[in-house]
Structure 1
Amino acid sequence: MWNPDVYLAFADHRGRPFFDLMGRVRAESPRRVVDLGCGPGNLTASLAQRWPDAALEAWDSSPEMVEAARERGIDARVGDVRDWVPQPDTDVVLSNATLHWVPGHAALLAGWAAQLDSGSWIAMQVPGNFDAPSHRAVRELARRDRWAELLQDFPFREGQVDDPAGYAELLANAGCTVDAWETTYIHELTGENPVLEWITGTALRPVRSRLSDAQWELFRQELIPLLDAAYPMRPNGKTFFPFRRIFVVAEVD
């Protein structure tokens, strides 16, 4: 279960990559714009503002997120991105911080490129931080005797996503002109245990789903010192949290 309120606790930080991605899409008057993995819809709304004449299609696998998006006036639907098929008038497909949850998403990207008309756009962004100290700390803790059996299939490991060159090669071979890059954002976070709160809304969701309430609280408490060591609070009370992200924007030739 996704919690939109927890996810939105860092809305400004999470939103910046979306706008950096969207800024490289040069579609002028698209007929249909699709947001795959729309989340709570706070960013999807900006697509309607940029392209007010386009039909806006929004999907998310989480009923909680879709409900939050609908409360914002987004006509979102619950659906798996693996089941999505572009309608004939689709000119822009955008997926922000979603495809890393989908095994085999490289084949999806190539398939979409084959189905879209010439001049259409595919834009996606995924985290590239699966070897970051935050994820290493979670994996280290998950391997300890207390947790090893419960969390043996914790999903986020190295190789979860490709690098920019890999995605560029994939989509170029699929008949696209590609712009691919990576950026490491240095987020300055405030509050107590801010990195823990950040990953609670995303990377720790698979952990939470496997633990009871009491186990979850114990896991969090054991994780805090590992994250504090990796991301020490600065003298001003704030914490730097580097976060690498991978971007791909492709125009179908």
Structure 2
Amino acid sequence: MLDWNPALYRRYEDERTRPARELLARVPLSAATRAVDLGCGPGNSTELLVQRFPGAEVIGTDNSEAMLKSARERLPAARFELSDIASWQPESPPDLIYANASLQWVPDHETLVPRLFAALAPGGVLAVQMPDNREEATHRLMREVASEAPWAERIGDADGLRALLLPLAGYYDLLAAEAAQVDVWRTAYQHPMASAAAIVEWVRGTGLKPFVDRLPTDLQASYLAEYERRVDGAYPARTDGKRLLAFPRMFIVAQRKP
């Protein structure tokens, strides 16, 4: 997959940062010595950690050099590192491992989530937010169009381009036996969007990227045109002319025993 585009991601930064802020609000820590932002992107979520824990060492990690460059420009005092969440290990146990909209790109959550939780310092917190929109029209239509000619041959297995999430109770069960407390919830945000094209622009910064990246330029254009046509039908205009984009997200906050 080609590198991420920070500018495209930031076009809807306020909407993307809202769940990050609400996740952090539920973290039961009054202070932290070390906090890690796994999959920090352009630094919008890392900035929340810096504001919440001004005395902490805050480390942002990402597998995209472009995103890390953007994050360093935004927060020159923070530390940013290139890493893959699937193999990441902290230098020393952090008080907070914070993963906002990143773990959905990493497979094998049955192993990954307990490993991250075990890496915390005693009393530390694992805080995770993941888009849970695989069955929303935006994402069903990505796969539907990708399964048809002339795009299917280039895209390949559309179902395998994003990790399958566990049910919410599954994450609770992974963590509860070893945790002091586990808080899980699901929220469906409703984002008013100007048009079907705006919805496509939103998802091009994240979920649509693996599909488009596999296509040559001419097939990218035809795929996006057909995808937008179907999005236009799936999200009708409301009374104010806008389209209402439902965006479910899953939240997990688990604290280790002291």
What TM bracket, shorter-length normalisation?
over 0.9
Find the partner of 2:235 among 231, 234, 239.
231
State how many pairs are aligned: 253
Question: Once the 2 structures are TM-superposed, how far is the Cα of residue 135 of structure 1 from its aligned partner?
Answer: 1.1
Match of residue 154 from structure 2: 150
Which stretches in structure 1 are left out of the alignment for 5+ residues? none
SS in 2 for 1:193: helix
Which of 164, 168, 173 pairs up with 1:169? 173
How much has 1:190 moved relative to structure 2? 2.0
Contact 2:97 2:120 in 1 (8 A): no
Provide TM-score, normalisation by structure 1. Answer: 0.95
* Contact 1:191–1:238 (CA under 8 A) maintained in structure 2: yes
Match of 1:200 in 2: 204
Report the Cα offset of residue 106 of structure 1.
3.1
- CA RMSD in angstroms comes to 1.7
Cα gap change, 1:32 to 1:82, in 2 (>3 Å): same
1:43-68 CA-to-partner distances (Å, cap 9, x unmatched) read 21121111010001110011110010
State the partner residue of 1:2: 4
8 Å CA contact retained: 1:183, 1:244: yes
**Unpaired runs of 5+ in structure 2?**
none
For the pair 1:24 / 2:26, whether they are aligned, the reply is: yes
Moved more, 58-67 or 208-217: 208-217
The answer to whether the 8 Å contact 2:43/2:71 transfers is: yes
* Paired residues for 1:17-96 under 5 Å: 17-72=19-74, 73=76, 74-96=78-100
Maintained 8 Å contact 2:27/2:127: yes
- State, as a whole percentage, how many aligned pairs show the same letter: 38
Question: Deviation at 1:75?
Answer: 2.3
How far is 1:175 from its partner?
A: 3.5
Corresponding residue SS for 1:211: coil
- SS of equivalent to 2:152: coil
Counterparts of 2:163 and 2:60 in 1: how far apart (Å)? 28
Q: What's the counterpart of residue 190 of structure 2? A: 186
Output one character per residue of 1:132-152: Cα deviation in whole Å (capped at 9) or x when no partner.
Answer: 111111111111121221122
Amino acid at match of 2:156: Q
SS of 2:44's partner is coil
Aligned structure 1 segments of 4 or more residues deviating by more than 6 angstroms:
none
CA offset at residue 192 of structure 1? 5.5
Partners of 1:123 and 1:54 lie apart in 2 by 17
Provide the rounded CA distance (Å) in 2 between the counterparts of 1:194 and 1:171.
38
